[in-house]
Structure 1
C-alpha cells in the first residue's frame, strides 16, 4: 500500500500501521528491495513542505529532513558548511543528489554515509518527532552502528540542526574511492578548524568508512591544538590517534590499506583545512 500524507501529523498517524516504512528520496529504499515486492505500507513524505527548506533559529541552522543534496549545495550557507557541501557533491550522481535527502542518508546508517563525518565535525544534532512530541539527539548518539539508529518506530527525523557557534569554522572533506565519481568510499576525513592568532584554537576531526560508525578522533584533535604551521601537522599526528577505528576487509579495500590510507588522508586534509583557514582569516 502506497500512501502520501499531506502533513507531518498525518504521516505520524500512518506510521502506527504495522510494518509501515517512510519513503523520502528513495535512493536507498528501492535498491535495498532488490527483486522483492513491497509487502508493507509505504508512506511517501517527499512532498511534505514542513520537511523541506533550510532556515535559521536563534541558536541553529536548521536543515529540513527532506532537503536534498542539490538543495544543500545551492543554498547560501556560511563557510562552515563547505565540507558538508563537498560531501553532498560526492553522493552518487546528479540524479541521486536531486532526489536523495539528508535524513535518508542518516537513517540508512551506512558506515560509508558521506554526510556523517562532516556533520559530526559541525556538532550536528538530529530532531526526532513523534505523536508524543520532539526530542533532539547529538548525531553521535543517533547513529548506533551499521544500519542501526536510535530512531524509535513511532518517530521520524524532521530536521538536522547545526549550532551557530560553528559558523566561523573552516571545513573540508575528502573521500577516497576506487575511482573519482559514483563510488562508495574506502575512507573519508572531515575537518572543522578555527584559528586564533595563527594557531589552531579549536578543531573537530571525523573519519568514516573505517568503522561500523563514523566517529570523531579526539586524540588527533587534542594533539593539534596550538599548532601554528601546516609543516608541523604531520609530526603531531602519531599513528596512535587512529586507535579508535576498526577497518574491515571488503571488496573495496583491505583493513590494512584503509588504516594506512586514513593516516595519509588525515594529515593531508588537516593541512588543507589549516591553509584554507589561514586564507580566510
Structure 2
C-alpha cells in the first residue's frame, strides 16, 4: 500500500492514473468509523491532497467566490473573504469541534455526499458549481447534478474535485444557515436550512433556499415554485413556502428523530430562517 502526497494537481492526476488510489483530505468522516467502512474502499493506495497548495486557496474571481477542495472548515470561518458568503461561514463554524474543523475540507464534505453534510446546504442554496479535473480533462457541474444520493456522486473514478464556485449573485446579500440538532455542534443535523435573498425596498427580488438532513439530497424547489419567493412576503406566503419545502422532503426515521418530526422541523426552520433574512421578526 502506498500513501501518496502530491504537490500539484498535475502530479495528483498522474498518480491517479498510475495507482488508482482513494483520494483523502481530512479523513474526518472516512476514518472515524473505519472498521465498518473499510469494506467500501476497494483501492489499495491512498492519495492525500492536503499539501497541494492550489487546492487550499480562497479567491474572489469575476465569476464569484472560489474555494479550493482542500480548504478546511476553520479556514472558511476565519477568512475575511467569507464576509461575502456568511451562510457558509456559519455552517463551517459548527462542523464538529475545532479538531474536526482544522481537518474537514469543503471538497470532502461535498464528495462524501452525506444527507446531513452542513457545508453542502448553503452551497446548494447558492447553486454552487463543482469543478472537477481528471486524466481526460476538466468539467464543471452544478452541485445539484453532482450529488446524486447518500454517498453517491457524479465523480468519475479518474477525477478529483479541484474547487467549488459560489456564484457572485449570492455574495454580499442577506443570508443565513441554521440547523437543528440534539447536542450542539458535536452531533449531526436533524434538519438544516440555508436561505439567501435579495430585496429592493419591501420587494423581494429573489430568494433561494436549501434544506439538509431531510432527504437523500439537499432539497431545493423547482424554478417555478422558487419564483414564488418574489414580491412582498407576508406570513401567509411564508407559510406556503415553508410547506412546499416540507412537502418536497423525504426524511428517514433514525435514533435522532422520526421522519414526521423532521418534516415538521423543515417547515419550522425554513420559516424561521426566512424571517431572519427578510427582517420579518
Same fold, TM exceeding 0.5?
yes
- How does 1:37-56 map onto structure 2 within 5 Å? 40-56=44-60
How many positions carry a matched residue from both structures? Answer: 276
Indicate the residue corresponding to 1:178 in structure 2: 182
Indicate the residue corresponding to 2:221 in structure 1: 217
Per the alignment, in what secondary structure is the counterpart of residue 262 of structure 1? helix
- 1:150 CA displacement: 0.4
- 1:32 CA displacement: 3.9
Indicate the residue corresponding to 2:192 in structure 1: 188
Once structures 1 and 2 are overlaid, which stretch shifts more, 159-168 or 95-104?
A: 159-168
Indicate the residue corresponding to 1:22 in structure 2: 23
Runs (5+) with no aligned partner, structure 2: none
Per the alignment, in what secondary structure is the counterpart of residue 16 of structure 1? helix
CA distance in 2, matches of 1:87, 1:107: 17
Per the alignment, in what secondary structure is the counterpart of residue 94 of structure 2? coil
CA distance in 1, matches of 2:81, 2:263: 33
Per the alignment, in what secondary structure is the counterpart of residue 118 of structure 2? coil
CA distance in 2, matches of 1:220, 1:77: 32
- How does 1:43-122 map onto structure 2 within 5 Å? 43-77=47-81, 79-122=83-126
Note the alpha carbon deviations across 1:189-244, whole angstroms, 9 max, x for none. 10000001222111001001011111213476333321245x55544436244222
Indicate the residue corresponding to 1:3 in structure 2: 4
CA distance in 2, matches of 1:241, 1:25: 32
* Cα pair 1:190 1:207 within 8 Å, conserved: yes
After TM superposition, what 4+ stretches of structure 1 lie above 4 angstroms from structure 2?
35-39
- 1:79 CA displacement: 4.3
Note the alpha carbon deviations across 1:93-124, whole angstroms, 9 max, x for none. 11100111000000000000101110012221
CA distance in 1, matches of 2:29, 2:216: 18
Please tell me the root mean square deviation across aligned C-alpha atoms, in Å: 2.1
CA distance 1:205–1:80, shift in 2 (3 Å) = farther
* Cα pair 2:85 2:172 within 8 Å, conserved: no
* Cα pair 1:79 1:171 within 8 Å, conserved: no
Runs (5+) with no aligned partner, structure 1: none
* Cα pair 1:80 1:170 within 8 Å, conserved: no
CA distance in 1, matches of 2:240, 2:259: 24
